[in-house]
Chains A and B, each alone.
Chain A
Amino acid sequence: MNFRGLAFNNILRSRTRSLLTILSIATASVTLTVVLALDRGYQAAVDRELVSKSGVHLYITKEGCPMEAASIIAQGGISPLYVPASVLGRLATVGNLDAVLPFNIFALTTSDGTRTDIFTGVTPALRKMRPDLEFDRGGWFEGKDPIILGAEMARLEKRAVGDKIYFEQLKREFRVVGILKRTYGQDDGMFFLPLEVSQALIDRQGKLSAVAIKVKDVGKLATTLDELRALLPGDYYVMSSKELGAGVLTFFGSTRVIMFVTVIMTFLVSIMGIVNTKLMTIAERKREFAYLKCVGATAGDIMRLVSLETGLMGVIGAAVGGAAALVLSPLFEGVIRRYLVVYVPTSRIVEPGAAVVLASAALVVVVSLAASVYPAARAARIRPMEVLRDE
């Protein structure tokens, strides 16, 4: 038996109260872990999908709100902004361009509202832009009404090469000519169509969502960016994939603020709960603390004991909360995806790794200990003669 053992025994004495306190700490822990995991996971996913793995160095869009365009480019939907295909002719004079991919992207929700399909119209330039995109089965567009499926869509639709696939939103049937290997990126969740077909489907012939560019020499990216900006009329917007990613993250900033305010509120409620519980406990155990002082406990011993009791509840709450966050993160991810208004990456965005769980647990324990300071100081001030009062 040591101080920890004594503290643990004291926790067990009021099981329901301790359990409720631990649950309140665990709730704060889950909230913090999920928010930290989302914060880190979202940034990593945006970087992965829009910057590192996109294969795109520059985007050309029509001026307006570039972040709206970014969101549309990445997520789908039919943007009111478009780039006329004629812009492609102007790019021929720019020397550092390795691949130029005009594309058209839009999203359509099924009539029952259960799913939104993202269609991307592309040209063969995609293969040069994204050499990492490989076919699992089949190959490039050929024949009548061809369509290429991302790996996840093939799995969801249970389609193989040669199968027909009907889209009730478009009232069109296509023939699967290729299925891509899984990239664990946004490609997995897309349907790829020939550019002209996709334009016709939404009555946007000759119009593009944007133009994606891959440069030959990344070291000259800034020069190329300036060259393109000088070349194109003022109502065009040229941005790098990094700027695109940064813009999306700026959009995400407001969501981030709300998330962290929620964490702070959860922590405040939890702290008030801990302080209230400990003060009640101390009031009930006043004469017991006085007795402990009679048998030689100093004010420091009493402070240590009360802080240990709270700290242990903090450790248990943090462990429960961390475990719950790990188990429930897919559920939280589903909810967050549904309501997130900015660009939603296709790969996991709530991924509580060991670093996040440990950092969150450490903060929860520190906050729990901080919450115990006032009750512990109150307990430490109890005078030993209180033990005899009213006897």
Chain B
Amino acid sequence: MTSERAPIARLVDVVKTFRRGSEEVRALGGVSLDVAPGEFAAVVGASGSGKTTLLNMLGCMDTPTGGRVLVSGRDVTNAGERELAEVRKHSVGFVFQQFFLVPTMTVLENARIPALFARNPAGERRAAELLELVGLGRRLDHYPGQLSGGEMQRVVIARALVNSPALLLADEPTGNLDSRNAGGIMELFESLHRGGLAIVMVTHNPDLAGRAGRIVRMEDGRIMA
């Protein structure tokens, strides 16, 4: 599962265990995975198979119990909170099932929030460009309450890309959408992928997974294929 090009994110024999009461749960049992630049991978598997934990590791949202995690060539296995925040800020974009849009802020303001934390003065211009790219160029001044679910998820995608990350992590990005809007989001992902963006998407939907360039199947905390 390696690529000839230097991977954007790399998991090397990553183990993650945690306690649930008196029981020790092994969420990841020695997982190795390389995400190459421009790659579009879909992670599939049953509930509890470790998909979300895998995404946590790639997104520097959690630290492993064992093994190594490298993002953008940087070993973040034992990184502190501040260093992990830096990596998340500049290297990774996140899209989740829930939108987390601020209802009292316009579409443009919502999309530029990550730029605020990155102290990126060009954030507003970049956010406007991305919103144009995702088809919301005419709705910059609208509020989330005036948008459909599919449009809100497009705002979320624009927001995830405002700091120009090389890797987009998506956890069930179409989980709250009807099939028409879900199809639209997938087309957008494919378009972004063609533009060179690496995408790792967790999904339960085999049709959507089939549209990714690579499928990573997980079972009991291990990658099966």
Contacts and interface: CB of A to CB of B under 8 A. Distances in A.
A295 B87 CA distance: 9
Which of B62, B117, B159 gathers the greatest number of chain A CB atoms within 10 Å?
Answer: B117
Contacts of B154: none
B97 interface: yes
Nearest to B160: A295
A383 B124 CA distance: 27
Contacts of A287: 98, 100
B98 A391 contact: yes
Given A1-B109, A385-B62, A391-B172, A293 B88 contact: yes
Nearest to B84: A384
A264 interface: no
B155 to A, nearest CB: 13
Given A296-B117, A301-B117, A385-B56, A1 B112 contact: yes
Given A6-B113, A13-B102, A391-B96, A296 B61 contact: no
Contacts of A294: 59, 61, 88, 94
Nearest to B60: A384
A125 interface: no
A212 to B, nearest CB: 67
B88 A6 contact: no
Contacts of A12: 104
A297 B82 CA distance: 9
B69 to A, nearest CB: 13
A296 B114 contact: yes
Contact of A388 (B55, B93, B103, B159): B55
Contacts of B175: 391
Interface residues of B, number: 37
A204 B175 CA distance: 96
Contacts of A243: none
A296 B163 contact: yes
Contacts of A384: 59, 61-62, 88
Contact of B159 (A9, A295, A298, A385): A295
A1 B96 CA distance: 24
A299 B117 CA distance: 11
A149 to B, nearest CB: 62
Q: How large is the interface on A (under 10, 10 to 19, 20 to 34, 35 or more residues)?
A: 20 to 34
Contacts of B117: 292, 295-298, 301
Main secondary structure of the interface of A (DSSP, over half): helix
B103 A13 contact: yes
Given A13-B102, A384-B61, A385-B62, A295 B171 contact: no
Contact of B96 (A3, A293, A299, A388): A388
A126 B103 CA distance: 73
B85 interface: yes
Nearest to A13: B104
A295 B55 contact: no
Contacts of B62: 383-385
A254 interface: no
Contacts of A6: 102, 105, 113, 116
A379 B89 CA distance: 19
Given A6-B102, A294-B59, A296-B114, 19 more contacts: A1-B113, A9-B104, A12-B104, A13-B103, A287-B100, A294-B88, A295-B114, A295-B117, A295-B159, A296-B86, A296-B90, A298-B81, A384-B61, A384-B62, A385-B56, A385-B61, A387-B96, A388-B56, A388-B171
Interface of A: 1-3, 5-6, 9-10, 12-13, 287-288, 291-299, 301, 383-385, 387-388, 391
19 contacts: A2-B116, A6-B113, A9-B102, A13-B103, A287-B100, A294-B59, A294-B61, A294-B94, A295-B88, A295-B114, A296-B90, A296-B163, A299-B82, A384-B62, A384-B88, A385-B56, A387-B61, A387-B94, A391-B97
